[in-house]
């Protein structure tokens, strides 16, 4: 019970130390929600279309071919952007979280000196990180997905994108990919925390700070 109560207290006390990590995770989550939600329906729709050349004499066929090309380009562009966000965001989140956890080592030393085990300290910080990062991730993914859905619907209404795209927007693949990406993002600070605790002697660090 103590790790949970301590985590809740730390969220209030240590909110300033999340001033970089939380916005970074929020940005990554929003971009992930946007690009995943836009890429998956467009890629699925493009894969289902035939590659037969359109009849340029038929205006409807020419318009549909143009919409198909836009959907294909949007799907490819969103996929490439998401790949870049994943690489850069993962490296940035892992680096920032490692720095933030390094700043907390003095607190870890105090907890260790009063009798808490490494497991209890890890559990306390794990709950704290999961709560803060989890809320940020859910908020960011929700905003990103809503923005992407509105964009796709606006493109369909303006005949920029094919109307058949709507049946692929309701699928759960993009949502599942967003959840997987969110879990990976959430695991990065936890990974940094585990590495720091394994490599650090809290008592020794506490003595150095005295």
As a whole number of angstroms, the distance between CA 82 and CA 129 comes to 24
Backbone angles phi, psi at 114, to 5 degrees: -90, 5
| 91: CB partners within 8 A, 6+ apart | none
Question: For residue 162, what pLDDT is reported?
Answer: 87
Burial of 53 (0-12, 13-18, 19+ CB in 10 A): exposed
Angle at which helix 173-199 crosses helix 59-103, to 10 degrees, equals: 20
Q: Low-confidence residues of the chain, pLDDT below 50?
A: none
Global pTM? 0.79
Q: Which of 123, 116, 106, 113 is nearest to 14 (CA)?
A: 106
User: pLDDT, tens digit, for every residue of 114-149?
Assistant: 777 777 777 777 777 778 888 888 899 889 989 999
Question: For residue 143, what pLDDT is reported?
Answer: 93
Contact 113/107 with Cβ under 8 angstroms? no
């Amino acid at each position: 019970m103590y790790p949970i109560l301590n985590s809740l207290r730390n969220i209030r006390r240590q909110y300033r130390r999340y001033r970089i990590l939380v916005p970074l995770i929020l940005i990554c989550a929003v971009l992930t929600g946007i690009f995943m939600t836009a890429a998956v329906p467009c890629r699925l729709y493009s894969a289902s279309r035939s590659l037969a050349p359109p009849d340029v004499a038929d205006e409807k066929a020419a318009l549909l071919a143009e919409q198909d090309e836009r959907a294909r380009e949007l799907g490819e562009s969103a996929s490439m952007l998401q790949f870049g966000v994943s690489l850069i965001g993962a490296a940035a989140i892992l680096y920032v979280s490692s720095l933030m956890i390094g700043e907390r080592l003095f607190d870890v030393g105090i907890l260790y000196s009063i009798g808490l085990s490494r497991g209890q300290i890890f559990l306390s910080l794990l709950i704290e990180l999961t709560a803060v990062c989890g809320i940020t991730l859910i908020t960011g993914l929700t905003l990103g997905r809503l923005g992407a859905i509105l964009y796709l619907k606006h493109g369909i209404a303006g005949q920029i994108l094919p109307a058949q795209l709507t049946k692929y927007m309701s699928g759960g693949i993009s949502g599942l990919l967003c959840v997987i990406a969110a879990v990976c993002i959430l695991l990065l600070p936890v990974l940094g925390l585990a590495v720091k605790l394994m490599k650090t002697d809290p008592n020794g660090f506490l003595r150095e700070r005295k």
